[in-house]
Amino acid sequence: MFGKKVSEGDVLRALRQVVDPDLHQDIVSLGFIKNLKIEDSVVSFDINLTTPACPVKERMREEARRAVAQLEGVREVRVNLTAEVRPHAALDRSALASVRNIVAIGSGKGGVGKSTVAVNLAAALRMSGARIGLLDADIYGPAIPLMLGHRQQVEIRENRILPAEHHGLRFISMGLFVPGDKPLIWRGPMAHKALQQCLFDVEWGELDYLLVDLPPGTGDVHLTLAQSVPVTGAVIVSTPQDVGLVISMKTLRMFQQTNIPILGIIENMSYYICSHCGAREEIFGHGGARHASEALGVPFLGEIPIDTRIRRQADTGVPIVLADPSSPAATAYREIAERLAAQISIVNYRIAPLRIEEVSM
Ligand SMILES: Nc1ncnc2c1ncn2[C@@H]1O[C@H](COP(=O)(O)OP(=O)(O)O)[C@@H](O)[C@H]1O
Ligand SMILES: [Mg+2]
């Protein structure tokens, strides 16, 4: 029935038709194809993606399956999706060798939902299978321990700080060093030292993404971060009422001045869905962040609705992404997390294009 025997070369040639829509290159040249086997006209291979949170993985799997299934002599195609987050090119030279990407999360002002975004994105990336750390660098208002429902003081072993671990996320916060509700007062040099300790003296272990929740605005902590470690990129959280987004834009410019690429803008509290009738209301207007990102040529990562359950879940220590993964709010966070992961892969690819696989055709 199958006269022609299919070869590895035939399969790879067919797979060259499948292009990664973010990296704009075919999946063979990108070195994604691993473990290619042909047995009894059954072709199996892995597609090793750059992130487990890849937004287009099912599409690539299907395109790859179809491209190979068309070949003569192929009875069955088995595509296995794997992922390996590629490290930022400069990171292996730093003291944080086990952390592949450091991602800053900033905002022009406080109260825009930056910490809520940080914990929910962390949870969404974790659910996709990525190894996640969260550094609460908002030394003036550390919120992460409350939002993750874990307030035990940190443990120190052999002069190394062990990160707290909860919901599968490793995290560290000034709130874990200071007992009770003591106010935190920091002078510049202290803030600098504290952030450096949180980066270098913490036993982070292997992480794909370390998300850093920055204090609002611009300041010492941002500079310390930019000067201490190679940051893959920054995310800006904004609200629609942030007039013309002027304040957020200042933050954006500060990142650009310190050579930190902007991974994208998120519009939080973008719209409200009435829990009784399902009607959508745009309390503060909507779409400002999208327009601003278009004007500035930076990616727009998405919109998050105002939802009382987002606040309630943050207050009870279980982010909505974990508490109710199929809710519209959780879906919004998850889609943003996927777009963010794709942007991180794009930035890393621009700095150091992936090695082209040596293949015999
Ligand atoms: N999309 C949202 N819908 C409803 N409440 C939200 C939303 N995002 C954040 N909040 C709430 O707004 C308050 C401020 O959020 P927070 O993440 O602490 O802001 P920031 O870190 O920017 O200061 C918190 O009470 C939080 O639960
Ligand atoms: Mg905060």
Is the shortest distance between the CB of 269 and ligand 1 below 6 Å? yes
101 CA distance to ligand 2 middle (Å): 21
The residue from 65, 83, 101 where one domain ends is 83
Q: Are residues 120 and 218 in the same domain?
A: yes
DSSP-derived 3-state class of residue 361:
coil
Q: Are residues 27 and 145 in the same domain?
A: no
The one-letter code for the residue type at 351 is I
- Residue 205 or residue 1, greater confidence: 205
DSSP 190-252: HHHHHHHHHHHSB---SBSEEEEEPPSSSSHHHHHHHHHS---EEEEEE-TTSGGGHHHHHHH
Kindly report, residue by residue over 48-106, the tens digit of the pLDDT.
999 999 999 999 999 999 999 999 999 999 999 999 999 998 877 677 889 999 999 99
Q: Are residues 220 and 308 in the same domain?
A: yes
Q: Assess contact for 334 and 47: CB atoms under 8 A.
A: no
Residue 360 inside a domain? The answer is no
DSSP-derived 3-state class of residue 145:
helix
pLDDT on residue 133 = 98
Is the shortest distance between the CB of 136 and ligand 1 below 6 Å? no
Which residues on adjacent β-strands are paired with residue 285?
283
137 CA distance to ligand 2 middle (Å): 9
Alpha helices in 50-157 (DSSP H): 57-69, 114-128, 144-147
pLDDT classification of 183: cutoffs 50, 70, 90: low
pLDDT on residue 245 = 62
Q: Are residues 70 and 182 in the same domain?
A: no
pLDDT on residue 293 = 86
Closest ligand 1 atom, residue 138 Cα: 21
**Which strands form 262-267's sheet, in the order they lie side by side?**
164-166, 169-173, 132-136, 209-213, 102-107, 233-238, 262-267, 300-303
Q: What secondary structure letter does DSSP report for 306?
A: B
114 CA distance to ligand 2 middle (Å): 5
Residue 38 inside a domain? The answer is yes
Q: Are residues 72 and 178 in the same domain?
A: no
Q: Are residues 70 and 140 in the same domain?
A: no
Whether 355 has a pLDDT exceeding 70, the answer reads no
Which of 309, 311, 316, 320 for mutating ligand 1's site (highest number of atoms within 8 Å of CB)?
311
Is the shortest distance between the CB of 115 and ligand 1 below 6 Å? yes
Q: Are residues 162 and 295 in the same domain?
A: yes
pLDDT classification of 359: cutoffs 50, 70, 90: very low
CATH number for the domain harbouring residue 126: 3.40.50.300
Spatial neighbors of 4 by CB under 8 A, at least 6 apart, are 72, 73
Residue 223 inside a domain? The answer is yes
Residue 356 inside a domain? The answer is no
Closest ligand 1 atom, residue 213 Cα: 21
Q: Are residues 132 and 17 in the same domain?
A: no
Q: Are residues 72 and 220 in the same domain?
A: no
105 CA distance to ligand 2 middle (Å): 10
Whether 170 has a pLDDT exceeding 90, the answer reads yes
- Residue 174 or residue 168, greater confidence: 168
Tokens of 267: 């519009």
Residue 359 inside a domain? The answer is no
Report the candidate in 74, 103, 87, 90 with the shortest Cα–Cα distance to residue 14: 74
Give the residue numbers spanning the domain of 41: 8-83
Kindly report, residue by residue over 315-346, the tens digit of the pLDDT.
999 999 999 999 999 999 999 999 999 999 99
| Closest ligand, as measured to the CA of 116 | 1
Residue 358 inside a domain? The answer is no
**Total structural domains in the chain?**
2
Whether 358 has a pLDDT exceeding 90, the answer reads no
83 CA distance to ligand 2 middle (Å): 31
Q: For the chain, what percent of residues have pLDDT higher than 90?
A: 67
Q: Are residues 95 and 38 in the same domain?
A: no
pLDDT mean over 124-138: 97
Residue 41 inside a domain? The answer is yes
pLDDT classification of 289: cutoffs 50, 70, 90: confident
Using only C-alpha atoms, the chain has a radius of gyration, in whole angstroms, of 22
Kindly report, residue by residue over 5-55, the tens digit of the pLDDT.
999 999 999 999 999 999 999 999 999 999 999 999 999 999 999 999 999
Q: Are residues 185 and 140 in the same domain?
A: yes
> Which residue's alpha carbon is at the smallest distance from atom 6 of ligand 1?
311
Is the shortest distance between the CB of 170 and ligand 1 below 6 Å? no
What's the mean per-residue pLDDT of the chain?
Answer: 89
Whether 281 has a pLDDT exceeding 80, the answer reads no
What is the rounded distance in angstroms from the CA atom of residue 353 to the CA atom of residue 186?
A: 41
The residue from 48, 67, 83 where one domain ends is 83
- Residue 69 or residue 353, greater confidence: 69
Is the shortest distance between the CB of 113 and ligand 1 below 6 Å? yes
Report the candidate in 217, 169, 228 with the shortest Cα–Cα distance to residue 195: 228
Is the shortest distance between the CB of 332 and ligand 1 below 6 Å? no
Tokens of 105: 């999360």
What is the rounded distance in angstroms from the CA atom of residue 184 to the CA atom of residue 174?
A: 9
pLDDT on residue 223 = 92
CATH number for the domain harbouring residue 45: 3.30.300.130
251 CA distance to ligand 1 middle (Å): 19
Residue 225 inside a domain? The answer is yes
Whether 361 has a pLDDT exceeding 50, the answer reads no
pLDDT on residue 360 = 42
269 CA distance to ligand 2 middle (Å): 15
Q: Are residues 117 and 75 in the same domain?
A: no
Dihedral angle at the C-alpha atoms of 152, 156, 161, 166, nearest 10 degrees? Answer: -30
What is the rounded distance in angstroms from the CA atom of residue 47 to the CA atom of residue 29?
A: 12
What is the rounded distance in angstroms from the CA atom of residue 51 to the CA atom of residue 354?
A: 13
The residue from 24, 48, 83 where one domain ends is 83
Strand ranges (E), the chain: 19-20, 25-26, 33-39, 42-49, 76-83, 102-107, 132-136, 155-157, 160-162, 164-166, 169-173, 209-213, 233-238, 262-267, 272-273, 280-281, 300-303
Cβ-based burial of 211 (10 A; exposed 0-12, middle 13-18, buried ≥19): buried
Kindly report, residue by residue over 197-251, the tens digit of the pLDDT.
999 999 999 999 999 999 988 888 999 999 999 999 999 999 887 654 666 778 8
